[in-house]
Amino acid sequence: MTVRTPDPDPDGDFGFDDVPASQSNPAWLSDIELEEARRRLPMLYVEAIPVRTDGSGQVTAVGALLRSTPLGEMTRTVVSGRVRYGETIRDALFRHVENDLGPMAFPLLPPAPVPFAVAEYFPIPGVSAYHDDRQHAVSLAFIVPVTGTCEPRQDALEVTWFSPEEAGSDAVSAEMEGGRGTLLRQALAHLGLLR
């Protein structure tokens, strides 16, 4: 008989025998442990720029998530999240696309995804084009075609689809948080769509 351990609950709920999830599964960090790790180590992230393609594989639309900050400002971002200990890059990418775009997004991920860019985020502005107040993070960035219906989950308000020309504009870049406008332009350049 196989026994399956419960998945860690990010809200801090307890697993079997009332043991905190961070103790029952060493791959999960409590909020305090995560904060401590962020102060000492670079964190590994994956980021995905969702795209729609036509029948010949040409990109027709580029997606960006609309979010509200705790201060009430509206910003745009891309699909993003940490890679868990023991998780493959592909699995992390799939998990975050599903978390941010919904289970019906139907991402088309190759068996061995290759990033189009590596972005390094620093807590000190100006060190690189990318900034994250919380941590030093290294992010593998991917272009991910999606074929289904995108219903944002988590803290995103909507997914906005831009034409490649609009996505590369200064106006959209200015709305992107943490330097992700630069990342979006790198994706467009990688696809040969930056004009």
What is the SS3 assignment for 190? helix
Structure tokens given for 195: 């004009």
**pLDDT at residue 9 in the model:** 42
**pLDDT at residue 40 in the model:** 85
**pLDDT at residue 37 in the model:** 82
The CA distance from 112 to 121, in Å, is: 24
**pLDDT at residue 148 in the model:** 96
Q: At 145, give phi and psi (nearest 5°).
A: -65, 135
- The answer, as to whether pTM is greater than 0.85, is no
Query: Own/partner pairs for 8-12, CB < 8 Å, 24+ apart?
Result: none
Strands 43-53 vs 74-77: parallel, antiparallel or unpaired: unpaired
Residue ranges of E strands in 7-99 = 43-53, 59-68, 74-77, 79-82
Q: What are the 10-residue block averages of pLDDT along the chain, 195 residues in total?
A: 40 40 60 85 95 95 93 93 94 96 95 96 93 94 97 88 97 95 97 89
**pLDDT at residue 155 in the model:** 81
